[in-house]
Amino acid sequence: MSETKPRRFYGWIVVLGCALMMGTSVGLFVNCNGVFVKPVCEDLGFSRGAFTLYSTIINFLGMLMQLYYGNLYRTRRILPIARVAAVVTCASMVGFSFASKLWHFYALATIFGLSQVPVSMLTIATLVNNWFVDKKGLAAGLAYCGSGVTAAIMTPVLTAVVADHGWRSGYRLLGVLGFVLLFVAVFLLLREKPADMGLLPLGVSADAADGSAADATPAQAAVGLTRAEALKTPVLYMMVFSFAVFTFCNMGMMNHLISYFTDIGYSEGYASTIVSLVMTVMIGAKILMGAIFDRVGALWTAALTGSFLVCSLLMLTFAGASPVIPFVFACFYGFGSSTGTVPLNFLLTENFGSRDFAALYSLVSMMSGIFSSLGPSLVGAMYDLLGSYSRIWPGLLALVCLAAVTLVTATLMASRRNYNPAAIHKRKG
């Protein structure tokens, strides 16, 4: 009888594939962008605000397209779309290496932004939600930590490549390496649903699923609010505001860290070491956060999510006072930079349930992401205006404090109004 059960749950292989996907789409293609700001601007004579607008275009279009893909995933298979997107995004990244004018970067950013969602967070969140009911926080943490692994390794490597061979070689390296990682993920490892392999999601028994694993749907998937119902609640808009602020500040910081640290007197090697440390901490942070969230529930998750970014900005504000402070910043920011991944995935499920997860996740990501996409270019424009990053961070700190209070309040409201009965039942169990 025991031979009829698989020895290992394939969902963990799916998590590995998701980690490779996250490591490419975010770790390489987003978190390493800061390496290019100074070299490209100095070589081609761009202002930092004008150049980083290409990152804003990518992020804005990516978030806008989430709603389209969220609806598409209701009726179409995910992986064939992801395979096409993998080729287009990697080709676009190589294309940046041939750019010589701003409009070249903007045009390629448009192509990249329109095609990035199928190899990014919406797809990862949907696959994790398909495969896991139990240990969903841990699975999400493991999947999302891929961005920290690749960025931690590649930030110093890419900095050295750009210094020795130029920024064009850096973009080509990202494009080729990204294609290798995405090929392994979307062509070899990922499977869309447990039913495709005759399995059930982790935490769902055959009895609960009404028999056959091949066509079973977890009972938990029917619990919670639909997207239309969630749109009528203030909780949704409070969460959108909070995560819009978190991700806006996160993207605004991430793309300018190396420039900021070198501006206040640290060497490029030191600055890239700090960014690499952020990514290294992020690896463990996402796994640890996912495991902790499974245990402490939604309210503590909301409180911790905001506090990480508050502490990060406090340390960043005083980073020039001592060479030790940037290392303390890196430890906090390793957790704080994860706010748009593990906490968002977890709190959406806890507050609204899994009934309409892909559509709801895409909507919240799009609505908050539209604002977050302004982070790199707006911070760059403020730098061009003020001449200093140190005058920008206190304003971001005030915004994050407001967003943190808002997210805790929203989570309390969702719990009291019982939008997701399954979460309350789980806590009682």
Q: Assign 380 a pLDDT band (cuts: 50, 70, 90).
A: confident
How many domains does the chain fold into?
1
Q: How far apart are CA 344 and CA 19, in angstroms?
A: 17
Place of tokens 């056959």: 212
Comparing CA positions, the residue from 248, 268, 250, 251 lying closest to residue 259 is 268
CA distance 429 to 425: 6
Q: Supply the range of the domain harboring residue 298.
A: 8-428
Structural domain includes residue 3: no
Q: Residue 1: which pLDDT band, with cuts at 50, 70 and 90?
A: very low
Calculate what percentage of the chain has a pLDDT beyond 70.
Answer: 92
Q: Does residue 250 form part of some domain?
A: yes
Structure confidence by residue, pLDDT tens digits, 140-185: 888 988 887 888 788 889 989 999 999 999 999 999 999 999 999 9
Q: What is the DSSP-derived secondary structure letter of residue 59?
A: H
Tell whether 171 is covered by a domain.
yes
With 80 as the cut, is the pLDDT of residue 215 above it?
A: no
- pLDDT, residue 314, reads 93
Q: Could you tell me if residue 2 is inside a domain? A: no
Predicted confidence band of residue 7 (pLDDT cuts 50, 70, 90): low
- How far is it, in rounded angstroms, from Cα 96 to Cα 102? 10
Q: Give the CATH number of the domain where residue 117 resides.
A: 1.20.1250.20
Report the half-sphere exposure of 130 (CA within 13 A, side-chain side): 26
Task: Say if 202 falls within a structural domain.
Answer: yes
Say if 403 falls within a structural domain.
Answer: yes
Q: Which long-range contacts (CB under 8 A, 24 or more apart) does 155-159 make?
A: 155/31, 155/32, 155/35, 155/272, 155/275, 155/276, 155/279, 156/269, 156/272, 156/273, 156/276, 158/32, 158/35, 159/35, 159/258, 159/268, 159/269, 159/272
Mean pLDDT throughout 94-118? 94
Residue 1 inside a domain? The answer is no
Nearest to 128 by CA among 284, 342, 302, 300: 342
